[in-house]
Amino acid sequence: MSDTFHWLNVQRIAEELADAHPDLDPAHVNFVDLRNLVRSLDGFEEREGHPVNERILESIQQHWIEERDDIASDDD
C-alpha cells in the first residue's frame, strides 16, 4: 500500500479507521467527527480538487462498518 491516501481512497480509509479505533462503533460516529478522525490518520493527505462531501463520508462509514464486521467474524 502507498504511504499516503486521500478522500477518494474510501476502502483504505475504512481499514485505517478500523485499525486505529477498534473500540468505536462507526454506525454511531457523526460526519463531523468522522471527517476529523480521517484527517487525523497517519498518511492521510487532502488533495486539491478532491474535497470531502456527505457522499464520501457515507461511503467511508459503510466500508468501516463492513471492515469492523469482517474483523469481528474473523475473531469468532
Q: Residue ranges of the domains in the chain?
A: 10-75
Q: What is the pTM of this model?
A: 0.90
Report, as an integer, the average pLDDT of 41-70: 95
CB atoms closer than 10 angstroms to residue 5: 20
Q: Look at residue 1 in the predicted model and tell me its pLDDT.
A: 52
Q: Look at residue 2 in the predicted model and tell me its pLDDT.
A: 64
Copy the grid coordinates of residue 4.
499516503
pLDDT tens-digit readout, 8-46: 999 999 999 999 999 999 999 999 999 999 999 999 999
Is the CATH number 1.10.10.600 carried by domain 10-75? yes
Report, as an integer, the average pLDDT of 1-9: 87
Q: Look at residue 76 in the predicted model and tell me its pLDDT.
A: 65
Q: Look at residue 10 in the predicted model and tell me its pLDDT.
A: 97
Q: Whole-angstrom Cα distance, residue 43 to residue 23? A: 21
Positions of E strands within 1-76 = none
Q: Whole-angstrom Cα distance, residue 30 to residue 33? A: 5
Residue 3 DSSP code? S
Residues in a beta bridge with 5:
44
